Amino acid sequence: MYKMKKRQILKSILCIAIVASLGSCSKVDNYDAPDGTLTGSVIDNVSKKPIVTEQPNGFRIKYSEISWSDAPIAQYFWGKANGTFNNTKLFAGKYQITPVEGAFVEPQPQTVDITSGGVSKADFTVTPYISFSGVSIVKNGSNVTATFTLTKNVVGSTPQNYRVFATSATPFVGTVAFDSAVSTGEIKITDGDFGVSKVVTLDKLVAGRKYYIRIGARCTNTSGRYNFTEIVTIQM
């Protein structure tokens, strides 16, 4: 009899614990979903247009909520290939925003107030490590000829290499999507290569295919990112 009563008491305690647990879980679920929006552009101060990059792997937006802490944990989301960014799932609060990990000198952060259901905008102007001029990517018989001139914009930066990226598989050609059989390898550059017209020929393209081609160049930087030209489409 004693054992039976003891079991009944234990069962009652277990039931109370389960009910209490379920009740506490339902309280957590009562929080509203984040619905604040942050949008903006990263402007190339040479071209005065949104910076040309790739997605993913172009740049990230670092954001830290400073409403309740002077040392918040930073979070990140990817920017877009056209130099813009957009995040529609932020909690209301005061944030510190910075574009990072791109082929540009990181700008000073901005402080932005995010409101529930609202749209907040933050634009940044950045200096790219390398710019392109005199760019021409054209079909030349069974080949493609790329002509361009490189300019280094950051004094003291170390030149690394340039490449011509090409693929017929996707319009989003870049470091994460290219055909190594038809693209160039990494061509080393020095300070003496800046301001000098370069000509590169792609001669392994397949007749009848449509190719997406762009030029990338980089100086040594913490993220290893390339600066890019616009993508050109060529039908072979």
pTM: 0.84
Q: Averaged over 8-36, what is the pLDDT?
A: 55
Q: How far is CA 46 from CA 50, 52, 85, 205, in A?
A: 10, 12, 20, 33
Residue-range domains of the chain with CATH:
36-128 (2.60.40.1120), 130-235 (2.60.40.2060)
Q: Which H or E run contains 43?
A: strand 36-44
What is the reported pLDDT for 7? Answer: 41
Which residue spans within 49-155 are E strands per DSSP?
A: 60-65, 75-78, 84-90, 93-100, 104-105, 110-114, 119-121, 124-128, 130-140, 143-152
Q: What percent of the chain has pLDDT over 70?
A: 87
Mean pLDDT (the chain) is: 89
Phi, then psi, of 36 in degrees rounded to 5: -85, 145
- The Cβ of residue 13 has, within 10 Å, a number of other Cβ atoms equal to 10
Longest dimension (CA), the chain: 98
The SS3 call for residue 157 is coil
- In terms of Cα–Cα distance, which of 229, 226, 231, 232 is closest to 59? 226
Whole-number Å distance between alpha carbons of 150 and 134: 9
Q: Averaged over 87-95, what is the pLDDT?
A: 96
Q: Which H or E run contains 179?
A: none
Whole-number Å distance between alpha carbons of 92 and 65: 9
Reported confidence tier of residue 29, pLDDT bands at 50, 70, 90: low
- The Cβ of residue 70 has, within 10 Å, a number of other Cβ atoms equal to 5
Say which amino acid occupies 166: A
pLDDT digits (tens, 9 = 90+) for 191-215: 999 999 999 999 999 999 999 999 9
Whole-number Å distance between alpha carbons of 180 and 171: 16
What is the reported pLDDT for 28? Answer: 53
Does the CA dihedral 163-168-173-177 come out positive or negative?
negative
Peptide bond into 72 cis (omega under 30): no
Whole-number Å distance between alpha carbons of 198 and 134: 10
Q: Averaged over 19-30, what is the pLDDT?
A: 49
Q: Averaged over 33-41, what is the pLDDT?
A: 95
